[in-house]
Structure 1
Amino acid sequence: MAHRLHLEQFGPVSALPILHYRMEFAHLVREAVARLKPDCICIELPPTLKSHLLRTIRRLPEISVLSYESKGGTVYLVIEPADPLVEAARLALEQDIPLHLVDIDLDDYPPHQGALPDSYAVHRLGLKAYYDEFRKAGSIPPGKEDLLREKGMTFQLQQLAKEHGRILFICGMYHLERVREFYERPQAAPLSRVRRDDVRLWNLHPDSCREILAEYPFLSAMYDLRRGPLPPEPEPSNLSLRKRFNALELIGGKTEIPEEEALRQAVLRSVRHVGGEGEMPDRQRIMLRLFQEAARHYRQETGESIHIWQKRAFFRFARNYALAGGSLLPDLFQMLTAARSCIDDNFAYAFYRLATYPMWQQEESDIPTVRLTPEDLWSGSRRIRFRPREQRRGKGLSPLAFLRRKKEKRPGEWLEGFDNQSICSYPPEDLIIEDYGRFLKQKGAKQLSEEQNRVEPFSASMLDGIDMRETLRNLHEGRIYVRENQRVKGGVGGVVVIFHEDSGNQRFPYHMTWLGEHAQESDMAFYATSPDDNIVGPGICRCEYGGFLLSYPPRRMLDVWSDGDYAFARCKSEVLLLAALDYSPEKHVVYVAARPPRSYFRQIAARLGKKIVYIPLGSLSPVKLKRLRIFHVLYGHDKRGTARDYVW
């Protein structure tokens, strides 16, 4: 691989061409300082900001903002770790190297919107090849403000060259070529502002860090943590984004697992996997680690794993989206779009939460805190909406309320809601599962009817109509085939849906029998994840079905899990099937699972005068099943009034 570092040499000046606010160029600054060991470092910022800049550098990795007034309005300068100019000033302070800000201060400098190559190309090609292609492509003609700044920087470099033998100059690619040309001729000191009294220093609010940073916080954290010795990888633990309790906590003891600690450990786990020690962090590997850690959190919260085909679709979608915009790798917005499109909104939110986690930023600081939006810094922004699959909001309501779901105001607040010994379900979820049960009954009856159909050649009667498929299949015979639809005797009484058999009783240890509360509800038996694994509100737990049984009419079912008649069943799915055969008033029972039941159960059904209608789980909509698997257990009927604020 080509050597990545390249310095432009003129006189005692070694100039590093950079793109502002790009992590790859910040690392090149480190390599340049290590190789050149300069007598002084010069950066493309005005000296009127120096005292305030040094104060913000000492606050790193906490992010600061410098602001001052100009003719065009308030100017904000964000001081973030992955900016090459910030890295140069930071190294100057750490290694006690003289730092000079050589730019001139202008009140009215027009923004440039020139297209630039993807900075990731530097990681693969090296800086020399990258800079050569940049110069060949050309750029927009310089304005008078650009020429004034470049001549001013050249004058400062000429003055410093009289005192120093090795000068490292960090300059934007757009300006460097003309600075090099101007250096061959003596320059005069330009007329410019020498002092600013209106410069203010701010601490950036953590919420603003999620929106306005040029490099998203997860990538910035990777870069900052790798500046020195790599931190130790966290010990494996059961730390989860889920909120848990145990029996002792219900009695009075309480523990708190903060979400921030789980996110922090995800960042620390990733530091060693994005490049070798001392090497430039690989943006592509950072993207991969971000996906893997987001998938871990998604699995903890929803119980759903990310499949290999979803992972492949995510990276293909993100790559194509980036290429369509002229980039090699996607930015954060494109990755979030890929996450939402290829998986779902809940994964996109887990991805967003980790990618934008401001690891060191605090809301309270020794300096005032400011909230900024992308419109305050840039000309515009792109918006993405996350919609939870369990909830739909009406017209006029915020589509981003999903991101602002309620959290505990103090540690242990939600545990106070478990003072009621009775439990109940959440009615909107009851309606969904009852509707799906009716759908499965209809599908089972239709499947039985199709099995009973008879096709024969037309002779004397058209029966129930012409069977076009069979007629075309036997077109060479020159005969017409007709169909006879025979009615199925007996309806469908019970429905069993098995998502996971859980033979070892490890993943779904919780089982329960619920009776219908009114005539429109079925009796239900199910096994699921433990409620205490995921507390989402005061007295509200989130669970995932392993399997369930619906039996109508209601209020007839005893506790199937303690019934001795089913003791010979090998697993919980067989218990549900036996109960469905036992309690079904109709002749047929629908059984939905990844594989059919053992033939022994068909014999049992025949003895009872029943029949099992098997529907493969893979023949049903995975999106609908995914939504169906999640349900909530409420500790007390009084929680139904507040559950809508916590169910997502």
Structure 2
Amino acid sequence: MSDRLYLEQFGNVHALPILHYRMEFAHLVREAFETVKPDCIALELPQTLEQQFLRGVRRLPEISVLAYHVAAQSVFLIIEPADPLIEGARLALEHQVPLHLVDIDLDSYPAHPEQLPDSYSVQRIGLEPFYREVAKLYRDIPPGEEDLRRERGMAYRLRQLSQQHERVLFICGMAHLERIRRDFDAPQAQPLTRTRREGITIFNLHPECCHEVLAEYPFLSALYETRRSPLPPEPAPGGPSLRKSFNAFELILGGKQSIPEEEALAESVQRSAHRIGPEGELPDRQKIMLRLFLEAARHYRQETGDKVHFWQKRAFFRFARNYALLSRMLLPDLFQMLAAARGCLDDNFAYAFFRLAAHYPWQKEASDIPTLRLSAAELWSATKRIRFRPREQVRAKGLSRLKMMNRKKEKRPGDWLEGFDDPYICSFPPEDVSIEEYGRNLKRIGARQLSEEASKSEPFSSSLLDGIDMRETLRNIHEGKIYVRENKRQKSGVGCVVVILDEDKEGTKYPYCMTWLGEHAQESDMAFYATPPTDNIVGPGISRCEYGGFLLSYPPRRMVDVWHDPDYRYALGKSEHLLMAALDYSLEKDVVYAAAKPPRSFMKQHAARLGKRIIYLPLGSLSPVALKKLRAFHILYGRDKRDIAKDYIW
């Protein structure tokens, strides 16, 4: 027997105490089945649901929802793989063991808000001490009349089964097991209960609802489902990417190419199933959380080109852990992990994390039964939730907020490619506003730097000038003198701004070179080099690119194609190419050059011959957050795309 497993035995009944809808207990059901080798399995579910319930279990791994109405209210039972009762039913069907639903059907059942320990603790301390503490908690809570009726009814049915079978495996919630064991030994009369219920309907759960209504988030449920059977071969590296790209000939000729987003997500599930532990062992929830983060980081890099750094990973797990502790849990739920992803990285990573966490490969919209859309708000506003499973309404409301993460997807493969038939390209106006404001800010920084370079400090004699220079005073404190500062404001006019984010010395990372003109008097002309637009399609006629470097020149409508101008043939690399163009087009004396390395002396001499001056700003002195937001931009194929771009650009 596993050191985590614990069974309560009375007569020939082996009872497994569980928490409903938790993966750890679903795995314990499998261990209990292998240990007891029962010839009968009993579940804490009403017999009136048996026919449709078994139909839903047979549909797994597709998730089903049982629904019926009681007094103008809807009651739902979700059949998902990581639930111990569902696991018990599946084992019974797979091994042809008799299955019995022994609970009684009540028309009314009160809600019992309960604060139970995190099920992950079973992974560490085992089931027996966990159950002892939970049972002690329930002893202090007086049971309701409905609870007593259900427990007497289950005890009566178990006594009947124990007389018909040698080994009965009973899977039951921890709240009821202690009293059921007591009632099992006492004489019980057959309970008066409903023997038939009309109007029970089974639905296929819509795949977009899985993340909102499942107790375990879909990625975890998918890993559990994958590991129930022999693991498929681990996917080879270099499989399908989430970066939607097309070659130029496909764009020109209107060809279509399938975008295997579902394949890439399913591959992540298979890879993670291999790497969270040996086959057949209880998956560690912490390792699942780590794999989810690593796979989301890989998808994030594919789509945005940004790498997730170690310090961001450490901040994510620390934030998520502390957030979980605030709610008195050991590990965070999906909403808390998404809050950590968004806060410690950015919205794009949070979306990549959410998209993978919400992926359940087997769930499809079309099925052999009707498909039902079900939200957490609908589930808790009109349902008797405690009838089948205890779940917290707070969690459901929290998960419902994940709807804001939804982004538009292709309706069919190649759908977005149809938007590239317009020969004209343009920018996304909100990004234009951001980059223009950033350029004006760099001009202010450059002018201030010139003034600081011209300022001087001297010992105080007769005038305080522009104030006491504390730095120089402390530096020369051994002299016993006070130094004052004279700020000399240089007459400066900054014309062009050049920002080099990556020099791209090999010339392969940012091959797309473009010059485009400002559309109105408040926009600058711009020249830049970036990643190819065909490498990352994010919407119909919308491409996401990343700047390697760019030049802003004001006033607009003056710049020709700088990349084919023979005057700049002496430039060594794209960065010098832009700097030469900036010196050429600047109407002012000064040009701001922000890069990781200062320009070589030849460029300073070239600027002097033109009567210009280069103001160098180290890239490390600028805000990395602002640069990261600025680095990505979008190219729209046609001005009509501006009306829809906000739905695809985040």
> Residue 422 of structure 2: SS of its match in structure 1?
coil
| 2:9 match | 9
Alignment-mate amino acid for residue 35 of structure 2? R
> Residue 504 of structure 1: SS of its match in structure 2?
coil
- Equivalent residue runs for 1:493-532 within 5 Å: 493-532=495-534
> Residue 241 of structure 2: SS of its match in structure 1?
coil
| 2:165 match | 164
> Residue 44 of structure 1: SS of its match in structure 2?
strand
Aligned equivalents of 2:262, 2:64: Cα separation in 1: 21
2:419 to 392, 404, 417: 417
Moved more, 408-417 or 335-344: 408-417
- Equivalent residue runs for 1:120-135 within 5 Å: 120-135=120-135
- How far apart are 1:409 and its partner, in Å? 3.7
Aligned equivalents of 2:638, 2:103: Cα separation in 1: 67
1:34-73 Cα shifts (integer Å, max 9, x gaps): 1221111111111111111111111111111112233583
1:376-416 Cα shifts (integer Å, max 9, x gaps): 33345334799xxxxxxxxxxxx9666244x4444333323
| 1:232 match | 233
| 1:382 match | 397
- How far apart are 1:489 and its partner, in Å? 4.3
| 1:394 match | none
Aligned equivalents of 2:165, 2:145: Cα separation in 1: 30
Aligned equivalents of 1:569, 1:410: Cα separation in 2: 46
Aligned equivalents of 2:649, 2:320: Cα separation in 1: 30
CA RMSD of aligned residues (A): 2.4
Aligned equivalents of 1:29, 1:400: Cα separation in 2: 33
- Equivalent residue runs for 1:249-398 within 5 Å: 249=250, 250-378=252-380, 379=393, 381-383=396-398
Paired positions, count: 635
Aligned equivalents of 1:137, 1:34: Cα separation in 2: 30
Aligned equivalents of 2:27, 2:72: Cα separation in 1: 33
Aligned equivalents of 2:482, 2:32: Cα separation in 1: 85
| 1:488 match | 490
Aligned equivalents of 1:312, 1:70: Cα separation in 2: 49
Q: Are 1:51 and 2:51 counterparts?
A: yes
Aligned equivalents of 2:554, 2:378: Cα separation in 1: 60
> Residue 536 of structure 1: SS of its match in structure 2?
strand
Aligned equivalents of 2:147, 2:437: Cα separation in 1: 68
Aligned equivalents of 1:138, 1:359: Cα separation in 2: 38
Alignment-mate amino acid for residue 135 of structure 1? A
Aligned equivalents of 2:429, 2:342: Cα separation in 1: 28
Aligned equivalents of 2:45, 2:578: Cα separation in 1: 72
> TM-score scaled to structure 1, two decimals?
0.92
Alignment-mate amino acid for residue 594 of structure 1? A
Moved more, 595-604 or 81-90: 595-604
| 2:389 match | none
Aligned equivalents of 2:436, 2:52: Cα separation in 1: 64
> Residue 102 of structure 1: SS of its match in structure 2?
strand
Aligned equivalents of 1:286, 1:135: Cα separation in 2: 29
Aligned equivalents of 1:417, 1:46: Cα separation in 2: 54
Change (3 A) 1:351 1:559: same
Q: Are 1:572 and 2:570 counterparts?
A: no
Aligned equivalents of 1:199, 1:402: Cα separation in 2: 33
Moved more, 106-115 or 601-610: 601-610
Kept in 1, the 8 Å contact 2:354–2:405? The answer is no
| 1:592 match | 594
Alignment-mate amino acid for residue 444 of structure 1? G
Kept in 2, the 8 Å contact 1:2–1:126? The answer is no
Kept in 2, the 8 Å contact 1:210–1:217? The answer is yes
> Residue 121 of structure 2: SS of its match in structure 1?
helix
- Equivalent residue runs for 1:18-167 within 5 Å: 18-71=18-71, 73-139=73-139, 140-167=141-168
Kept in 2, the 8 Å contact 1:529–1:544? The answer is yes
Alignment-mate amino acid for residue 90 of structure 1? R
Alignment-mate amino acid for residue 32 of structure 1? A
Aligned equivalents of 2:610, 2:300: Cα separation in 1: 44
Aligned equivalents of 1:641, 1:332: Cα separation in 2: 33
Aligned equivalents of 2:415, 2:13: Cα separation in 1: 62
Aligned equivalents of 1:124, 1:404: Cα separation in 2: 38
1:571-591 Cα shifts (integer Å, max 9, x gaps): 322322233233333332212
> Residue 264 of structure 2: SS of its match in structure 1?
helix
Change (3 A) 1:20 1:505: same
Aligned equivalents of 1:420, 1:209: Cα separation in 2: 38
Change (3 A) 1:516 1:128: same
Alignment-mate amino acid for residue 406 of structure 2? L
| 1:393 match | none
> Residue 141 of structure 1: SS of its match in structure 2?
coil
Alignment-mate amino acid for residue 207 of structure 1? E
Alignment-mate amino acid for residue 236 of structure 1? P
> Residue 17 of structure 2: SS of its match in structure 1?
strand
Change (3 A) 1:432 1:276: same
Alignment-mate amino acid for residue 314 of structure 1? F
- How far apart are 1:195 and its partner, in Å? 1.4
> Residue 552 of structure 2: SS of its match in structure 1?
strand
> Residue 229 of structure 2: SS of its match in structure 1?
coil
Aligned equivalents of 1:84, 1:149: Cα separation in 2: 19
- How far apart are 1:444 and its partner, in Å? 0.5
Kept in 1, the 8 Å contact 2:213–2:375? The answer is yes
| 1:191 match | 192
- How far apart are 1:471 and its partner, in Å? 4.5
- Segments of structure 2 that go 5 or more residues without pairing to the other structure are 381-392
Aligned equivalents of 1:402, 1:131: Cα separation in 2: 38
Alignment-mate amino acid for residue 130 of structure 1? F
| 1:206 match | 207
Moved more, 568-577 or 108-117: 568-577
Aligned equivalents of 1:35, 1:384: Cα separation in 2: 37
| 1:392 match | none
Aligned equivalents of 1:422, 1:45: Cα separation in 2: 63
Kept in 2, the 8 Å contact 1:71–1:108? The answer is no
Change (3 A) 1:465 1:126: closer
Aligned equivalents of 2:319, 2:2: Cα separation in 1: 29
Aligned equivalents of 1:108, 1:53: Cα separation in 2: 20
Change (3 A) 1:590 1:384: farther
- How far apart are 1:362 and its partner, in Å? 2.0
Aligned equivalents of 1:595, 1:128: Cα separation in 2: 63
- How far apart are 1:105 and its partner, in Å? 1.4
Change (3 A) 1:384 1:84: closer
| 2:619 match | 617
- How far apart are 1:642 and its partner, in Å? 4.2
| 1:389 match | none
1:583-637 Cα shifts (integer Å, max 9, x gaps): 3333322121233333443344344443322222232222322221121222334
- How far apart are 1:437 and its partner, in Å? 0.8
Kept in 2, the 8 Å contact 1:592–1:615? The answer is yes
Change (3 A) 1:220 1:70: same
Aligned equivalents of 2:16, 2:354: Cα separation in 1: 34
1:334-366 Cα shifts (integer Å, max 9, x gaps): 111111211122222221121112322222222
Change (3 A) 1:92 1:385: closer
Alignment-mate amino acid for residue 607 of structure 2? A
> Residue 45 of structure 1: SS of its match in structure 2?
strand
Alignment-mate amino acid for residue 58 of structure 1? R
Change (3 A) 1:635 1:371: closer
- How far apart are 1:207 and its partner, in Å? 2.3
Aligned equivalents of 2:598, 2:630: Cα separation in 1: 21
| 1:391 match | none
- How far apart are 1:157 and its partner, in Å? 1.4
- How far apart are 1:479 and its partner, in Å? 4.3
